[in-house]
Structures are given as C-alpha cells and as structure tokens.
C-alpha cells in the first residue's frame, strides 16, 4: 500500500496546491512534497525486495496486485512493486521534486499555484512509471508525465517556449507510439501464452521462448523489429544521438526547476524503460547487436560532449552534457556485466542528482544576472562567492571527481564494460568512451574560467548581490547527497546489484530465440 500512498499523496497535494492562493503556493507545495520524501526514505530503510521484479524468483517490495479491468483475452491488473532498480529512482524522484519546488520560489512569479500543482502531478506520474509492473498501468503513467511537462515548458518557459514545448511533446509522443507498436507486436506474438499485460509475465514468457510468428514474421525477426521500435522509442527519451535535438531546446526554454526535473528524472524514464524492456525482455537481441548499441553509446558520449564544448549558453552546455552522461548508461547496460548493469543504474541516480545540481547552479546565477551567456559575464565569484563555490563543486562532480557520485558511477560502468564479453572489442569501446572525461573537463573548466573567474564584468544592468538562502539551500542538500553517494555508493549499489544480478546471464544461451 505504500506505493499507492506515495502516488495518492502526490496527486492530492497537486489538487490542494492548485486551489491554494499563488502567494503561498510555493511554500505549501514544498511542505506537502515532504510527505512523499519522508515516505520514500522510510520505504528505502525498510526495503526488503529481492531479485529483479520482472524475472522469476524475485520478490518485489511493497507489491500490490489487484484485478482492475478485463480487455478481451487480457486481464489488466493494478500491479505495482519495487525492486533494487526502481527503489533508488523513487527516492531520486521525491527528493528532487522537493528541491526543485524550493528552487522555483525565486524565479517563478506568476500562476504559482498551477505551476506547483503541475509539478506535484508530474511527481505522482513519475512514481507510477517507476513502480508500475503492468504494461497498461505503466503506459498510462508514462503518458501522464508528458502533459504536465509540456505545460510547464509551454506556459512558464522562455521566449521560444511554444516551439520547444510542441517539439518536446510531438517528438516524445511519436516515440511513444513507435514503442507502443513494437511492444504490442510482442504481445500479439506471444498469443495465448500470456493472459495479462503484466510486465513480469511478458518478460518471462519472452525469455522462455514462447514468442510465435505474427503476420508471417518469424519470431527472431519479430523480436528484432520490436527491439528496434522500442529502442527507437526510448532512445528519444534518453536521449541517444541522433534522437536528441528536442532536448537542448526544451532545456533552454524551460524554467530552471523544470530543467532540474527534466534532466534529473524524466531522462531516466528512457534508460529505465530500456533496462526493463529492451535489456530484460529482449536481452538476447541486445546481446546479438551489442556492438551497434555500443556505437550509439560511444557516439552519444563523444558527440554530445563535443556539442557541449561549442555552446555559449551555460544551460545548453549542461543540456548537451546530459546526452554525453546518458551515453555511459547505455554502454553499461549493453555490457551485461554486474558492474556494467549496476554502474549504469547507479549513473541514472548520480546523473539525476548532479545534473539537477548543475541546472540549479546555473539557475541561481541567472536569477541574479538575468543572463546565461558566457560572453556576458566574468568574475562572478567575486560577487557570489558561495554560489561560485557550489558551482565549482558541482562542475567537478560532473567531471567525475572521486568521492562524488559521478566518479563511482562512471568507474563502475567502465569496469563493467571493459571486461564485457558481449561487446566485441569492449576495451576499445570503453577507452573511447573514457575520453569523455577529458572533454567534459574541457568545457566545464572553460565555462567556469570565463564566467566565475577573472575581473568582474557583467553586461546586463542588474545590481547583483549574494543569492538568497532559499536559492542556495537546495544546492547544498544536493551536493551533500552527491558526496554521500560518492563516498558510499553501497547505499544504493547493493540493492541495485541484487536486482541486476539475474540480468547478467539473461538471453545468453539464446533461450528466447
């Protein structure tokens, strides 16, 4: 019942905040959002799930199965539950939502109650995405995330918000459609061997090789086509190059708190879905095409980093660097080794915190200066020493400084992918991917040198002073979380390892083909 409690609390909070007067909406929303934070942390502390929720022999924590709707031959259940992959993502979602709400107090100055209401509504949907174990339920939540995000960008965004919001919505919705088609090809191919749309049932049936032909397409071909459709669909969300161009536009136009959630949590929907669908249900296809997937990963890492290097807008830099960081997740997943899969999952959490931190830091500077262009300012550290200090710490976190979570995630991915026997020439792929750590240092150091250091200069006519405490506080909290996870990755890594362990050998013998 605890998962339901989380979702209902967030939904109820959303409604209450929508009804609240604008002037108190921010504080009210933050206070209400503490309930899911506390609940998810408590769930984390009593977490007793074992195994991978989609695979045999597992026992998800906080599981509920209730018959809900019957559609033709299929039963649709209200089925939620958490394993070691989804539990950390739930904690990430609740914590980041609260911090994003606080960071919105300064920049959001109109229609606050609607803004915070939508944020909380999105939180409910996000929790649902990570907790749902039935496809229908999962898809409802998946689509439900798009609506508030579309509105948050389209109403509270920058000058080109309409274009960015439409682009985001159309692009990701088309992707959902493609994924949907691919998934249902599998469902129909499975025929009578499944009686519900439960994700575990489907995953286990596929891995047991129960897929039949559909419309004259052989099972292996059907699997491949479904894999491509689902990979393409999720790749837009992640995003994987070349499906990434909606991301910079969305980030640049979105207000800071929305960027925090977009980069921090929404991108993880894509990698989470890849892990659940492509790499669990169709692991044999993933293995057979590991090199192609690894090429997508490496191109995302290097090309994304090069794009970040070319940007002049601080927010665009962070946006493009997300593409690079998510490439590590893909590389880790396709390695099919314990540290590869585990590191990839850990990177989802770590990147959620660090990119949130970076976007907030850029946002604090923007709040004071009303510009994000590198050429418009220099020497900000003179006027905003604390903000600059946190910015430097965040940037080094992004560069993978040891004892911060990014290093743990990246080094685990590298350890896992270097020795992968699934990817041919894995050491070569891994080594090229590692060059990302040099480029990321290049663009972040350059950005810091130009904006934070040197003689003070500001092109915009704003009197700038030290950022208010409410702007800095969420940054400090995130920084401490990043350090805590960097010093003790085991806080999440143990449960992650437990859940990805059954995936390591998945599809190895071609059992599903």
Footprint (CB under 8 A) of another protein, residues 304-343:
306-311, 337-339, 342
Choosing from 12, 431, 483, 511, the residue that interacts with another protein (CB under 8 A) is 431
Q: How many residues bind another protein (CB under 8 A)?
A: 86
Write out the binding residues for another protein, residues 453-472 only, by CB under 8 A. Answer: 453-456
Choosing from 12, 34, 147, 373, the residue that interacts with another protein (CB under 8 A) is 147
Closer CB to another protein, 116 or 171, in the complex: 171
Choosing from 8, 56, 438, 473, the residue that interacts with another protein (CB under 8 A) is 438
Closer CB to another protein, 162 or 466, in the complex: 162
Minimum distance, C-beta of residue 72 to another protein, in the bound complex (Å):
4
The helix or strand, by DSSP H or E, that contains position 284, with its residue range, turns out to be helix 283-288
For 320-372, list the strands marked E by DSSP: none
Q: Which of the ranges 77-85, 224-232, 258-266, 424-432 carries the binding residues for another protein, by CB under 8 A? A: 424-432
Q: Examine residue 239 and say whether the peptide bond preceding it is cis (omega within 30 degrees of 0).
A: yes
Q: On the CB side of 371, how many CA atoms lie within 13 Å of its CA?
A: 17
Characterise 214 by phi-psi region: left (phi > 0), alpha (psi -120 to 50), beta (else).
Answer: beta
Minimum distance, C-beta of residue 13 to another protein, in the bound complex (Å):
19
Choosing from 411, 476, 483, 484, the residue that interacts with another protein (CB under 8 A) is 411
Q: Does 394 bind another protein (CB under 8 A)?
A: no
Cβ partners under 8 Å of residue 24, min gap 6: none
Q: Which of the ranges 79-87, 96-104, 207-215, 494-502 carries the binding residues for another protein, by CB under 8 A? A: 494-502
First to last CA, the chain: 38
Q: Which of the ranges 22-30, 50-58, 72-80, 271-279 carries the binding residues for another protein, by CB under 8 A? A: 72-80
Q: Which of the ranges 35-43, 284-292, 361-369, 435-443 carries the binding residues for another protein, by CB under 8 A? A: 435-443
DSSP 186-212: HHHHHGGG-SB-BHHHHHHHHHTT---
Q: Does 386 bind another protein (CB under 8 A)?
A: no
The answer to whether 197 touches 135, Cβ cutoff 8 Å, is yes
The helix or strand, by DSSP H or E, that contains position 70, with its residue range, turns out to be strand 61-71
Q: Does 60 bind another protein (CB under 8 A)?
A: no
Q: Does 497 bind another protein (CB under 8 A)?
A: yes
Q: Does 299 bind another protein (CB under 8 A)?
A: no
Write out the binding residues for another protein, residues 176-215 only, by CB under 8 A. Answer: 177, 180, 184, 187-188
Write out the binding residues for another protein, residues 237-266 only, by CB under 8 A. Answer: 241-242, 244-246
Read off the DSSP letter of residue 423. S
Closer CB to another protein, 38 or 310, in the complex: 310
Tokens for 167? Answer: 């682009």
Choosing from 430, 458, 472, 475, the residue that interacts with another protein (CB under 8 A) is 430
Write out the binding residues for another protein, residues 353-382 only, by CB under 8 A. Answer: 379, 381-382
Q: Examine residue 242 and say whether the peptide bond preceding it is cis (omega within 30 degrees of 0).
A: yes
Choosing from 421, 459, 505, 508, the residue that interacts with another protein (CB under 8 A) is 421
Closer CB to another protein, 37 or 503, in the complex: 503
Q: Which of 218, 223, 195 is nearest to 207 (CA)?
A: 223
Q: Which of the ranges 88-96, 227-235, 267-275, 492-500 carries the binding residues for another protein, by CB under 8 A? A: 492-500
CA-to-CA distance for 298 and 307, rounded, in angstroms? 14
The answer to whether 340 touches 417, Cβ cutoff 8 Å, is yes
Choosing from 1, 46, 48, 72, the residue that interacts with another protein (CB under 8 A) is 72
Q: Does 279 bind another protein (CB under 8 A)?
A: no
Write out the binding residues for another protein, residues 24-53 only, by CB under 8 A. Answer: none
DSSP 133-173: -BHHHHHHHHHHHHHHHHHHHHHHS-TTHHHHHHHHHHHHH
Q: Does 68 bind another protein (CB under 8 A)?
A: no
Q: Does 121 bind another protein (CB under 8 A)?
A: no
Residues of 51-60 as b/e, b for ≥16 C-beta within 10 angstroms?
A: bbbbbeebeb
Q: Which of 34, 45, 142, 128 is nearest to 90 (CA)?
A: 128
């Amino acid at each position: 019942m605890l998962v339901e409690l989380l979702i209902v609390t967030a939904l109820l909070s959303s409604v209450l905040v929508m009804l609240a007067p604008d002037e108190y909406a921010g504080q009210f929303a933050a206070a209400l959002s503490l309930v899911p934070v506390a609940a998810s942390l408590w769930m984390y502390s009593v977490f007793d799930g074992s195994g991978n929720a989609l695979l045999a022999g597992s026992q998800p924590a906080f599981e509920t199965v209730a018959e809900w709707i019957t559609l033709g031959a299929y039963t649709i259940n209200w089925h939620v539950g958490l394993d070691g992959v989804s539990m950390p993502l739930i904690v990430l979602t609740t914590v980041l939502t609260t911090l994003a709400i606080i960071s919105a107090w300064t920049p959001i100055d109109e229609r606050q109650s609607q803004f915070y209401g939508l944020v909380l509504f999105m939180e409910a949907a996000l929790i649902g995405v990570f907790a749902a174990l039935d496809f229908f339920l999962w898809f409802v939540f998946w689509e439900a995330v798009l609506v508030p995000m579309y509105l948050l960008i389209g109403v509270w965004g920058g000058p080109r918000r309409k274009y960015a919001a439409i682009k985001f919505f159309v692009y990701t919705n088309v992707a959902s459609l493609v994924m949907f088609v691919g998934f249902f090809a599998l469902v129909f191919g499975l025929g009578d061997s499944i009686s519900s749309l439960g994700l575990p049932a489907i995953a286990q049936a596929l891995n047991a090789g129960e897929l039949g032909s559909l419309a004259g397409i052989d099972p292996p071909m059907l699997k491949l086509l479904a894999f491509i459709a689902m990979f393409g669909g999720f790749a837009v969300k992640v995003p994987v190059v070349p499906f990434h161009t909606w991301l910079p536009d969305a980030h640049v136009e979105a207000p800071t708190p929305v960027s925090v959630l977009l980069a921090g949590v929404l991108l993880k929907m894509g990698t989470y879905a890849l892990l659940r669908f492509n790499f669990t249900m169709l692991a044999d296809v993933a293995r057979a095409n590991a090199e192609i997937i690894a090429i997508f990963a490496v191109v995302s890492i290097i090309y994304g980093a090069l794009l970040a290097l070319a940007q002049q807008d601080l927010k665009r830099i962070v946006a493009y660097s997300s593409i690079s960081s998510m490439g590590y997740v893909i590389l880790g997943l396709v390695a099919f080794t314990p540290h590869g899969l585990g590191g990839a999952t850990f990177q989802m959490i770590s990147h959620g915190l660090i990119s949130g931190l970076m976007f907030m830091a850029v946002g604090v500077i923007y709040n004071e200066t009303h510009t994000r262009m590198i050429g418009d300012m220099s020497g900000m550290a003179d006027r905003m020493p604390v903000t600059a200090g946190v910015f430097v710490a965040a940037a080094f976190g992004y560069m993978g400084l040891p004892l911060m979570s990014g290093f743990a995630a990246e080094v685990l991915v590298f350890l896992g992918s270097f020795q992968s026997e699934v990817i041919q020439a894995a050491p070569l792929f891994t080594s090229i991917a590692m060059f990302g750590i040099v480029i990321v240092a290049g663009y972040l150091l350059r950005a810091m040198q130009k904006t934070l250091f040197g003689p003070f200069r500001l092109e915009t006519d704003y009197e700038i002073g030290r950022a208010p405490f409410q702007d800095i506080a969420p940054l400090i909290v995130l920084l401490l979380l990043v350090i805590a996870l960097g010093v003790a990755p085991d806080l999440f890594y143990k449960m992650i390892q437990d859940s990805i362990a059954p995936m390591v050998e998945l599809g190895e013998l071609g059992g599903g083909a």
